[in-house]
Chains A and B, each alone.
Chain A
Amino acid sequence: MVKSFGSQPVLRGVELRVREGDFLTIFGPNGAGKTTLLRVLATFMRPNRGSGKIAGFDITKQATEIRRRLGLVSHDNLLYDNLSGYENLKFYGRMYDVPRLESRIAEIVNQVGMEARLHQRVGTLSHGQKKRIAIARAMIHRPSIVLLDEPETGLDQEAIAMLTGILDSLGPRRTVIMTTHNIGQGLKLANEVGILVRGKIVFQGPKPTEDPAAFSDVYYHYVEAHR
């Protein structure tokens, strides 16, 4: 896939294959195109050239089918500040046609630990609390494919553990693609890793090591070689 903004190429021919059930972490320096890649995969924007399929559906022609299966946790919370957490979840739940919505809201809110503040307006919550509601929003429809764009931003260790618990609760067939700068966290969660440099995937495969320090050497080797 190729994606440019004006004359500025951001993705220069990304080739990516992810199996069902995989947890792929994509590492890359600033400006490598990680967020743009996730935005194309999330069907926010179309690639200028190339094609892609998610769960067998074409990302440009069958975007609605992909969206039905997709959950995104991004830098933005995608929440309305003047609505409560409950009202936000109810709105998104309706948009996703979530069956038995009330019980699903109760279940996901319990998982993110926000029962006590569910009816408080989102604008009055702390950054971490908003992020928890944002995770509940992303998971309200039990997505089978989850995109995480640097999810550790604004989340403490407890919240990250909560997030991985929710991902596990989606079942073994759920697929996760995560972008991050945090090598330790990204390596710990993934079974597959990718390195994106200047808009190209320069490495993808099973994680070569469990040791963050050793992986850092591999990572910087690829970054320097393709910079």
Chain B
Amino acid sequence: MSRLLLLLVALVITACSSQRDGEVAQAADGFYAALASGDGARACALLSPRAEEGLEKGGDTCPEVVLDLDLRGGAPLGGPRVYGDEAQVRLAADTVFLHRFADGWRVRAAGCEPRPGLPYRCEIEG
């Protein structure tokens, strides 16, 4: 009986974890798919509010700026790394950080380069 309960708990946790990882990967994929198709408005809609605001400087709009950055993603390197409401997706040409909002996962940092011992330096950050 207790083994069955443990198995059920493990199955539920695995299923929830797979679903969550899928949602994170989908959000990162959607962001780069929008950029690849030149749809800046769609890409901005997948950014966190602060990241979107961060791109709107000097009268330029987010959809214009986000396309000018010429970000490239590439194939995923392993699965998403998700801890609570924060996630990281490593792609061949970029590392993306996401945050979970009421309406789902959104990109809060992209165009990121690692710095040894320091946080990533990102072209989009918020």
- Whether A and B are associated in the same complex: the answer reads no
B contact set with A: CB distance below 8 Å: none
A contact set with B: CB distance below 8 Å: none
